[in-house]
Amino acid sequence: MAASISDRIGWRPAARDGLRRLVPLAALVGIVLTIVLLAGMGDIVLQRRVIFCLIHVVAVVGLYIFMGNSGVMNFSSAGFMAVGAYTSALLTMAPGMKSTFLPDLPAWLAAAHLSPLWGALAGGVMAGLMALVIGIPIMRLSGIGAAIATLSLMFICYIVLGNWTALTGGQQSLMGLPSYVGLWTAGLTAMVAIAVAFVYQETRGALALRGSREDEVAARGSGVRIVRERLAAFVVSGFVTGIAGVLYGHFLGTLRVESFYLDLTFLLVTMLVVGGMRSLAGAVIGAIGISILTELLRLVEVGFVLPGTSWSIATPPGLGDVALAAAMLLIILFRPQGLTGGHEIELPRSKTSTSGLATTSGNTGTANV
Amino acid sequence: MIDPAQILIDAVSVGGLYALTALGIGLIFSVMRLANFAHAELVTVAAYMLFAFSGSPVAVAILVAIAAAVLLALATERIAFRPLRGADSATLLISSFAVSMFLQKLLVFLVGSRPKALDPLPALSRTVSIGSLQVSALKLVTIVVCLTLLAALTAFLKWTRFGLQMRASAENFTMSRLLGVRANAVIAIAFGLSGLLAAVVAVLFAAQSGFVQPRFGVQIVIIAFVATVIGGLGNLFGAAVGGFFVGVVTILLQAFLPAELRPFREAFLFVIVIAILLFRPQGLFPARNLKERV
Amino acid sequence: MTAIAGQGGGRQGSAETLAPLLSIRGLTVRYGPITALDGLSLDVGAGQVISIVGPNGAGKSSLLAAIAGTVKPAGGQVTFKGQPTIGQPLEQTVRRGIALVPEGRHVLASLTVLENLRLGATIRRDTAEAAREIEGFFKTFPILGERRNKSAGRLSGGEQQMLVIARALLSKPTLLMLDEPSLGLAPKITDQIYAMLASIREAGVSILVVEQNAARALRVADRTYVLNGGIIRMSGTEAELSGNPDFEAAYFGLAPRGGAQ
C-alpha cells in the first residue's frame, strides 16, 4: 500500500499502445455521457429514472472493483451503501431536522453540518474503513466461505442500523436529507467511479489479483500477497459503493434501512453477473441493461397505448418483477459469463478499420500480460 | 419468568425448526455443493398451500403442502440447478438467489404481498400442564415432530440403499457414480427430502406465527444458513446440531441480554458465523473428508 | 479369494477372438494447453491382462480416466463390447462392465468397510448373492471381516487397496482397470495384491493396469505398453521387453515414436 502510484500503475511504454489501452475507459465514459446528455433533453420523470440508473452504475462498479478483479463473491454491497448513506446523512442534515427526527443523537453529531462534498467523502471513507476493518480478517476466505461471510456482514449492517434507533431512526424513515443529487452529479460521479475502477484494474496489484482469480489453488499458495491485494480492492470497492449509497440518500432525500437489504443485494450482484463480472464493461452494461429492462417492464405494467391504435396494453401489477427475476435467472443459466462475456469494449485489432467498436477477447490487463 | 425448564422447551422447539431447515439445506449442499437459498420459497409455498386449504381437514392441508413443496423442490432442481451441476458453489449460490427472488416475486404477483392469517393446527392452541409448568401444546408437538423426523432421517440415511448412496455421494460424487450410483436419482431424492422438511417446518412455523406472506420462509432460512455453517457445511449431523445450537443461543440471548442490546441479538449470530468461517471453517463438527469443500 | 474371484467366469473368450473387448483409437486428452494423451490407440482382448508403464505424467491416469469417463477426451474413440463409450453418463461405465480402481485408493472413508462393499454392488439386482460374496470376501480377509463395521478410512493402505479392489469386483465387471495399485505400499503387500490380480484374471476378468513399477507390470501382463509424453513408445510381451535396452530408453522417453512395435 505504501508504494507510489506510478510504481503500481504499469503503463505500457509505447504511446500508441497506451492510447489504445484507454479505449475501454473512453467507451464507457462515453456511454454514460451520452445517457446524461440524452436524459437532459427528457422530462423530469425520465431524468429521475436515469439518475437512479446512474447510482446503480456507481454501486455495481464498486462491487466490480472487488468481485471482478478477485473473483471472490461479495454479497455485502447493500451494507456498504447503507453505511455511506447514513454517514453522509448524519453529517449534512440541518441540525434542526436532526433534532426532529433523531432527538437522541450525541451532541457533537447533532451539531455537525458539513457541506455535501465533505459529507459524501466522509460517507465513502466510512464505508472504506469498514471494508478495511472487516476485510483484514475475512479476505483469506474464498468461494462459499466468502459468500456466506459477506452475506453475514450485510445482515449485521442491516440489523445494527435497523435497531440503532438513536442514530438511524431504526425502522422509521429518516427524512430531511439535502437532496442535492441531480443528473450531472450522478453522471459525473458514475464517470469518476468508472475511471477509478479502470485505473485500479491497471495497477500491478489488480493484475496479480486477476491472475489469482483463474486459479484458486495457486492463489492459496501465494497466500499473503493475494490477501493483501484483495484487501486493497475491498477497501477501494467499499469506498465507491459507499459513495453510491451517499448518492442514493441525497437523491431521494429519505432513507429507510429496509432499502438496503436482500432485494438490493440481489439486484446489484445480478447486474454485475448479467453484464459479466470479469470486466468493467460488464459492470456498466449490466447496471444500465437491467435498469432499462426494469423501466420497460414498469412501463408495460403502468400501461401504454400502442402507437397508431386505440389498444392499450397493461399487465397486472407485479408481473414486471416476475419477468425481471426470470430474465436474470435465464442469463445466469444460459450465459454465465454475462452479456459481455468478460470482455472490455475495445477497438478492432486490425489497424485499418477504425469504424465502430468491437469487443475483443480478454480483459484488459490479463490480455496484455 | 426465567424458568430454566421453560427456556429449555423454548430453545428446543425453536432449535428444532432451525435444525429441520438446516438439514433440508444441508442435504442438498452435501450432494451438490449448492447452498440453496430458494429453500425459503419451499417453506413459503407450503405455508400458502395450508392457507389455501384451510377449509379442508388438517391432514389434507398438510399433505397438499408437502406435495407442493416436494414438487417445487424437484422442479427447481430440474429447471434451474441441473444445468449448473458441477459449477462452483458461489455460482450455484447466486443462481439459488435468482430462483428465490423469482419465486418470491411470483408469489407477490399471484397472491399479493399482504400477510394472510391462518391457523393450520387449531387443536394445539392451548397449554398443557406438566407438573407446575404451563407449556404450549404447539411447542411440545413441535419438539416431538422435530425429534421424530430427525430420527427417521437418520434411519433413512443409515439403513436404506438410497441413504447409503447419498452418504457416499456426499463424500465423493465421482467415485460413487463410478460405482453405479445414479447422480440424478440421488440429487432428486435430496431435493424431495428437502421439500418434505420444508413443508413440515412450514406447518409448525405457520402455526406459531399465525400468518403467511411472500417472505415467510426467508427469515428462518437465513438463520438455518447460520446453523449449517456453524455445524459444518455438508455435514448433516452438524447441521442438525447447529440448528439446535442456534435455537439455544437465540433464546439465551433473548433471555439474558440487556434490554437495550436485545434487538441486536441476531447480529451476534452472524458475528459467530464469521468467526467460525475464520477460525473453524469446517464448522464446530467437522465432517470427515470435507477439506476441499469450504 | 475364490469367493470374489469366482465371478465373471463362464463366458471368457480367448485372446484371439475377433473384436477386442476394449478398443481405443486416436485418443487425445488435453488439459488446457497441455496434451496428456496424443492420439493413443490400443486394444484389450477378452480375458487379457494389459499393463501400461511409464513415468509420472506420461498420461497413464488420463488414459484410464478417459475410458472410465471422468475426463472428456478432445478426440478419438473408445469402444467397449462394440459400443462407443465417450460422452455417456459416468454411472453407465460400471453398468457396461468397466470397473475402475483409481489411484490413491478412494475408499469412502466416512462409510464402514461393509458399506463400501455394499456400494460396490449398487448395480446388482441379486442382493442376496452379493451379500454372500461379501461374506466370502470377509472369510478370505479376516482382518477386514473383523472391521466390517469400522470406518474404512481407518484401515491401513494395503487393507484399503484390498477393499477397493473387492468393491470394484462386486459389480461383476468384464474389465477391471487399476491405477497404480502398488503405489505407496510395502513390497509384501504389493505381492498380495498382484496375487489377487492373478486369480481375478483366472476368473476370466480382463485387466488393464497402470504401473510405474515396470518389473511388476511386465510380469503380470500378456502385453505391456510403454507410455511416455502421451504417446505409446513401444509394446510387447514380458519376454520381448524384459532386459531389452530399448525398453528402458522408451520408458525414459528416449526412443522415437513407435520404436520397436
Give me the pLDDT at residue C7, please: 41
* pLDDT at residue number C19: 77
Contact in structure between B220 and B43 (CB atoms under 8 Å): yes
Alpha helices in chain C (DSSP H): 2-5, 60-68, 90-96, 113-120, 127-140, 142-146, 157-169, 187-202, 214-220, 238-241, 245-251
Q: How far is A20 from chain B (nearest CA, A)?
A: 33
Residue C254 — very low, low, confident or very high, per pLDDT cuts 50/70/90? low
How many independent structural domains does chain C possess?
A: 1
The answer to whether residue B291 neighbours chain A at the CB level (below 8 Å) is no
C95 touches chain B (CB under 8 A): yes
- What is the structure's pLDDT at B254? 85
Give tens-digit pLDDT for A297-334.
Answer: 888 877 777 777 777 777 777 788 888 888 888 888 88
Strand, coil or helix: C185: coil
Q: Do B278 and A156 touch (CB under 8 A)?
A: no
- Mean pLDDT confidence for A4-15: 46
- pLDDT at residue C233 above 60? yes
Q: C253: buried, middle or exposed (CB in 10 Å: 19+, 13-18, 0-12)?
A: middle
User: What pLDDT does A223 receive?
Assistant: 64
Chains A and C are in contact, defined as 3 or more C-beta pairs closer than 8 angstroms: no
Chains in contact with chain A (at least 3 beta-carbon pairs closer than 8 A): B
Percent of chain A with pLDDT over 70: 86
Decide if B270 and A153 are in contact by the 8 Å CB cutoff. yes
Most confident stretch, A312-326, B136-150, C182-196, C240-254 = B136-150
Over residues A242-249, the mean pLDDT reads 97
Q: Which of C95, C99, C108 sits opposite B171 (nearest CB)?
A: C108
CB contact under 8 A, B171 and C100: no
Tens digit of each residue's pLDDT (9 = 90 or more) over A336-367: 888 888 888 877 755 443 333 444 433 333 33
With an 8 Å Cβ cutoff, are A266 and B99 in contact? no
Contact residues, chain A to chain B, C-beta under 8 Å: 73, 137-138, 140-141, 143-149, 151-153, 155-156, 159-160, 163, 262-263, 266, 269-270, 273, 316-319, 321-322, 324-326, 328-329, 332-334, 336
A125 burial type by CB count under 10 A (0-12 exposed, 13-18 middle, 19+ buried): middle
Question: How high is the pLDDT of residue B102?
Answer: 94
Which of B28, B76, B105 to probe the A interface (max A CBs under 10 A)?
B105
Q: Which residues of C49-71 are buried (b: 16+ CB within 10 A; e: fewer)?
A: bbbbbbeeebbbbbbbbbbbbbb
B80 at A interface, C-beta within 8 A:
yes
| Contact call for A152 and B273, based on CB within 8 A | yes
Quickly list DSSP for chain B: ---HHHHHHHHHHHHHHHHHHHHHHHHHHHHH----TTHHHHHHHHHHHHHHTTTS-HHHHHHHHHHHHHHHHHHHIIIIIGGGTTS-HHHHHHHHHHHHHHHHHHHHHHH-SS-EE--S-GGG-SEEEETTEEEEHHHHHHHHHHHHHHHHHHHHHHHSHHHHHHHHHHH-HHHHHHTT--HHHHHHHHHHHHHHHHHHHHHHHHHHH-EE-TTTTHHHHHHHHHHHHHH-TT-HHHHHHHHHHHHHHHHHHHHHS-GGGGGGHHHHHHHHHHHHHHH-TT-SSPPTT-TTT-
What average pLDDT does this structure show over A30-35? 95
Nearest residue, CB atoms, B175 vs list C106, C115, C153: C106
Is there a contact between A153 and B83 if contact means CB atoms under 8 Å apart?
Answer: no
Query: For the domain B4-112+131-279, what is the CATH code?
Result: 1.10.3470
Residue listed under C-alpha cell 449490466: A286
* Partner residue opposite A155 with nearest CB, options B88, B108, B222: B222
Q: Which chain A residue is nearest to residue B263, measuring alpha carbons?
A: A163
Q: What is the domain range of residue C112? A: 2-251
pLDDT at A44 over 70: yes
- What is the tens place of the pLDDT at every residue in C135-148? 999 998 999 999 99
Residue of B nearest to C173 (CA): B179
Q: Does C131 touch chain B (CB under 8 A)?
A: no
pLDDT in tens, C61-109: 899 999 999 999 999 999 999 999 998 999 999 999 999 999 887 899 9
pLDDT of C260 > 60? The answer is no
More confident residue, A106 or B49: B49
Which tens digit of pLDDT belongs to each residue from C16-48? 446 789 999 999 999 888 889 999 999 999 999
CB contact under 8 A, B168 and C118: no
Size of interface A-B (CB pairs under 8 A): 117
Question: In chain A, where are the structural domains located?
Answer: 5-363
- Per-residue cell: B190: 435430496
Minimum distance, in Å, between the CA of residue A335 and any CA atom of chain B: 11
pLDDT of A217 reads 58
Binary contact (A153, B99; C-beta < 8 A): no
**Contact call for C94 and B172, based on CB within 8 A:** no
Residues of chain B with pLDDT under 70: 1-2, 286-294
pLDDT reported for residue A214: 67
Residues of chain A positioned with their CB less than 8 A from the CB of B33: 144
Q: What is the ipTM of this complex?
A: 0.86
The answer to whether residue C171 neighbours chain B at the CB level (below 8 Å) is: yes
* Beta-bridge partners for A346: A358
Mean pLDDT of chain A: 85
Residue A259 distance to chain B (closest CA, Å) = 15
Confirm if C50 and C222 have CB atoms less than 8 A apart: yes
Check CB contact of B252 with chain A, cutoff 8 Å.
no
**Contact by Cβ (8 Å): B269, B249:** yes
Beta-bridged to residue C52, according to DSSP, are C210, C225
Chain-chain contact of B182 with C91 (C-beta, under 8 angstroms): yes
How high is the pLDDT of residue B206? 95
What per-residue confidence (pLDDT) applies to B2? 63
Distance from CA of A296 to the nearest CA of B (A): 17
For A185-228, what is each residue's pLDDT tens digit? 999 999 999 999 999 999 988 988 888 776 655 555 556 678 89
Q: Which CATH class is domain A5-363?
A: mainly alpha
The domain segmentation of chain B, as residue ranges, is 4-112+131-279
Distance CA C177, CA A53 (A): 59
Residue A11 has pLDDT above 50, yes or no: no
